[in-house]
Amino acid sequence: MTGTVYKSTGSWYTVKSNQGDFIECRMKGKFRIKGIKSTNPIAVGDIVDYDLEETSDTVTGTIHKIHDRKNYIVRKSVNLSHQMHIIASNIDRVFLLVTINNPPTTFNFIDRFLVTAEAYGIETILVFNKIDTFDEATLDEQLYMQHVYQEIGYQCLRVSATANKGVEELKQLMIGKVTMFSGHSGVGKSTLVNALEPTLNLKTKTISEASKQGQHTTTFAEMYDLSFGARIIDTPGIKGFGIVDMEKEEISGYFPEFFKLKDQCKFNNCLHKEEPNCAIKAALEKDEIAWSRYNSYLKILEGDDENYRTDSFDEDRKASDETRK
């Protein structure tokens, strides 16, 4: 039998069959070892084949095959720095929720996410949430951030889950697709999903005032069928995003505005740092590329993964201020 993984809780997987039934499944032991570098061989969104087991009072299943993934999105495993954790697979579109100060989302965090999504071929739309809470300075900052990403070609939405602004537009982009909402803890993912589909009633928590960071309310990724013909994967809040398995020469290819200019660099292996006649640096000097983006690129290039969880907010803020002078 074939179905789609809707929830993973470690050793058990909730699978929805092609007939529409839900069944709890385990995995055949040998999957765990077979050349899968991730800490979780099966992820939400995976299409799997399974056999029914009727040995106990309840019917369960055993997964024996994972179909090839169209794409997937990963983060570094929290405990094992050299391994990755697959957050979800077979995604049509990711909505990255961005908040300006409650909690702060930095350029560096957004860019790491976008690079990872570009590398795995997943379309990302930036959703600026909590727009009902902005004062004039915060609004300026949000509009500037939006301008940076729209200039590159990323679609941006402005929404407020609590004031129900922009929710309908977001809905239209979800119909008929498997979508994923991601972002820091506390950016309002669960509140927004509840605004889209009130009957789901996902848990929400307030921002911890002391640290301006959200408290985790989602512990495992889970997929939901929505009444308007969409499927959504709700993911745990991500505190930081590491870049996994990427060669230095590849990185600039996942910055679309760099990729367009790469061919004009003097050296075809140009890393856009100290090399002469670099088209990227020339564009930077002419303000055709945002300094915040270049700053993120250098951090990723330097493998600055030690700091990726801390999200050096002030540094990014200063870099963006420089571009506005």
Separation of alpha carbons 291 and 284, rounded Å: 7
Separation of alpha carbons 265 and 321, rounded Å: 28
Separation of alpha carbons 108 and 295, rounded Å: 8
Give the up-direction half-sphere exposure of residue 258: CA atoms within 13 A in the CB hemisphere: 25
CATH number for the domain that contains residue 55: 2.40.50.140
Whole-model pTM?
A: 0.78
**Residues 92 and 113 reside in one and the same domain:** yes
Q: How many CB atoms lie within 10 A of CB 57?
A: 5
Residue that terminates a domain, selected from 39, 66, 93: 66
Q: Say if 33 falls within a structural domain.
A: yes
**Residues 94 and 229 reside in one and the same domain:** yes
Residue that terminates a domain, selected from 204, 234, 264: 234
According to DSSP, residue 186 is labeled T
Give the tens place of pLDDT for each residue, 140-157: 999 999 999 999 999 999
**Residues 203 and 256 reside in one and the same domain:** no
| Number of structural domains in the chain | 3
**Residues 281 and 180 reside in one and the same domain:** no
Three-state DSSP at 138 gives helix
276 pLDDT band, cuts 50/70/90, is: very high
**Residues 210 and 270 reside in one and the same domain:** no
**Residues 192 and 126 reside in one and the same domain:** yes
Q: Say if 72 falls within a structural domain.
A: no
Q: Say if 71 falls within a structural domain.
A: no
More confident residue, 245 or 130: 130
Q: Say if 151 falls within a structural domain.
A: yes
Give the tens place of pLDDT for each residue, 189-213: 778 888 888 887 655 444 444 444 4
Q: Say if 265 falls within a structural domain.
A: yes
CATH number for the domain that contains residue 89: 3.40.50.300
Domain that holds residue 287: 248-324
